[in-house]
């Protein structure tokens, strides 16, 4: 089933219209806490949030990519539902899934859908049910670089794969020069940075390379980095910081980290012109995704190989992972109330206010229905 195209139209659900332009996926720190940080608090009235019987402490962990969104959501939700305390530790997708399958959290955030073995593991926690994937945000993965004197840089999948597999080691390599004939590329060593922690960002970045340059990136992919060489840093914030401070550096992270002077690569996808990592361009690519989950699971398959004009295919979707059945009785009311809110029109609007991507109405409607059936 094709996702309804989001680009340059409103996500109209009910009376309000939420912008459908795909905002970049912002990332927060990996710190524990429910504060809003620098995130916008949103504009909707707290009275629109339905608390029901929500109370007590709600523990969650996972994707650092959605941490700022969670913080903004928590600020609004707890203002309305004062009996609930939400603690989301953005320790990365791998940590979140592990915590979920071990029964340590009510829900987890992950930039990758559950694997079959993780679904199996979840059944021991979700009594009579299993863990399911509920897509909440999506956005582009940017490739940031720090090359003195180079303000614009074009790379294709093959060249990126060789750079991150230590097969291209100098910035003035002929392959890079061919893609950038007008650039003055220095004789400078490439410092490629990847994630040290298990990461859905890594999973999606390598899925793109495997789908489009398998010959040059002969790995299975996954949350853990597998290619040879390079340097590592913890979290998207750590990779971005290394790129910013290291001459010759290149690294991958959500687009929101491309700030404070960090430049990003334009992708040569085979389209007529190289594609920039922007909100609208990622929207065009994510609109081609398909729902591949079964039952109540709403996992998506992204089209990393798209060559559509203006489509930036290096994207990810962040899921909230929760039990469809067998949730703990003491946390179920708060879990449902919070998930109901973040999937609501008001909750999705906060995404656009914090440089995140709302989920298309066709999919978020299914997410809402699924949340109401959680037990």
Structure tokens at 183: 């650039």
Query: What does the pLDDT look like over 125-162, one tens digit per residue?
Result: 999 999 999 999 888 899 999 999 999 999 999 999 99
* 281 vs 136 pLDDT, higher one: 136
Asked whether residue 153 falls in the same domain as residue 113, the answer is no
pLDDT surpasses 90 at 176? yes
Q: CA-CA-CA-CA torsion for 211, 214, 217, 220, nearest 10 degrees?
A: 70
Asked whether residue 109 falls in the same domain as residue 177, the answer is no
Asked whether residue 249 falls in the same domain as residue 121, the answer is no
Q: CA-CA-CA-CA torsion for 221, 225, 227, 229, nearest 10 degrees?
A: 170
The boundaries of the domain holding residue 161 are: 141-283
* 354 vs 306 pLDDT, higher one: 306
* Residue finishing a domain among 258, 283, 308: 283
Asked whether residue 36 falls in the same domain as residue 130, the answer is yes
Query: What does the pLDDT look like over 200-238, one tens digit per residue?
Result: 999 999 999 999 999 999 999 999 999 999 999 998 889
Query: What does the pLDDT look like over 34-73, one tens digit per residue?
Result: 333 334 434 344 558 999 899 999 999 999 888 888 999 9
- Is residue 4 in a domain? no
Asked whether residue 29 falls in the same domain as residue 103, the answer is yes
- Is residue 165 in a domain? yes
pLDDT surpasses 60 at 25? no
- Is residue 92 in a domain? yes
Give residue 57's pLDDT.
Answer: 96
Mean pLDDT within 81-110 = 96
Asked whether residue 276 falls in the same domain as residue 149, the answer is yes
d(CA 221, CA 19): 33
Nearest to 304 by CA among 235, 212, 242: 212
Q: In this structure, are residues 78 and 34 in contact, taking their beta carbons and an 8 Å threshold?
A: yes
- Is residue 335 in a domain? yes
Asked whether residue 118 falls in the same domain as residue 150, the answer is no
Asked whether residue 328 falls in the same domain as residue 344, the answer is yes
- Is residue 317 in a domain? no
CA-angle at 15, arms to 9 and 18, nearest 5°: 35
* Residue finishing a domain among 227, 251, 283: 283
Number of domains the chain is built from: 2
- Is residue 278 in a domain? yes
* 11 vs 307 pLDDT, higher one: 307
Asked whether residue 172 falls in the same domain as residue 264, the answer is yes
- Is residue 112 in a domain? yes
CA-angle at 221, arms to 219 and 226, nearest 5°: 65
* 7 vs 185 pLDDT, higher one: 185
Asked whether residue 26 falls in the same domain as residue 47, the answer is yes
Asked whether residue 134 falls in the same domain as residue 227, the answer is no
* Residue finishing a domain among 283, 315, 343: 283
Give residue 62's pLDDT.
Answer: 95
Query: What does the pLDDT look like over 160-173, one tens digit per residue?
Result: 999 999 999 999 99
Nearest to 68 by CA among 366, 327, 350, 293: 350
149: CATH: 3.40.190.10
Residue 356: band (very low, low, confident or very high) from pLDDT cuts 50, 70, 90:
confident
Give residue 313's pLDDT.
Answer: 94
pLDDT surpasses 60 at 26? no
Of all residues in the chain, what percent carry a pLDDT higher than 90?
70
Asked whether residue 213 falls in the same domain as residue 238, the answer is yes
- Is residue 154 in a domain? yes
């Amino acid at each position: 089933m094709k996702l309804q195209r989001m680009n340059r139209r409103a996500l109209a659900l009910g009376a309000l219209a939420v912008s459908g332009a795909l905002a970049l996926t912002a990332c927060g720190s990996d710190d524990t806490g429910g504060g809003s940080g620098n995130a916008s608090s949103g504009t909707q009235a707290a009275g629109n949030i339905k608390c029901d019987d929500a109370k007590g402490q709600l523990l969650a962990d996972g994707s650092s990519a959605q941490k700022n969104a969670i913080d903004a959501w928590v600020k609004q939700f707890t203002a309305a539902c004062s009996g609930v305390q939400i603690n989301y530790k953005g320790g990365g997708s791998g940590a979140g899934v592990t915590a979920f399958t071990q029964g340590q959290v009510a829900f987890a955030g992950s930039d990758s859908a559950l694997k079959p073995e993780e679904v199996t593991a979840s059944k021991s926690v979700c009594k009579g049910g299993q863990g399911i994937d509920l897509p909440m945000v999506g956005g582009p993965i940017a490739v940031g670089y720090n090359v003195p004197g180079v303000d614009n840089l074009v790379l294709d999948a093959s060249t990126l794969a060789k750079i991150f597999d230590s097969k291209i080691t100098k910035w003035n390599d002929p392959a890079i020069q061919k893609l950038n004939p007008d650039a003055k590329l220095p004789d400078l060593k490439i410092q490629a940075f990847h994630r040290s922690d298990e990461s859905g960002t890594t999973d999606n970045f390598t899925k793109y390379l495997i789908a489009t340059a398998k010959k040059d990136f002969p790995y299975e992919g996954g949350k853990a980095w597998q290619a040879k060489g390079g340097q590592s840093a913890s979290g998207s914030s750590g990779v971005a910081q290394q790129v910013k401070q290291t001459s010759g550096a290149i690294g991958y992270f959500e687009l929101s980290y491309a700030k404070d002077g960090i430049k990003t690569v334009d992708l040569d996808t085979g389209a007529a012109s190289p594609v920039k990592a922007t909100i609208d361009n990622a929207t065009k690519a994510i609109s081609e995704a398909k729902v591949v989950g079964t039952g109540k699971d709403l996992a998506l398959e992204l089209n990393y190989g798209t060559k559509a004009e203006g489509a930036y295919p290096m994207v990810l979707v962040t899921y909230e992972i929760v039990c469809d059945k067998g949730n703990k009785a003491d946390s179920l009311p708060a879990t449902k109330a919070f998930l109901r809110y973040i999937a609501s029109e008001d909750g999705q609007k906060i995404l656009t206010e914090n440089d995140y991507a709302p989920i298309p109405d066709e999919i978020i409607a299914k997410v809402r229905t699924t949340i109401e059936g959680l037990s």
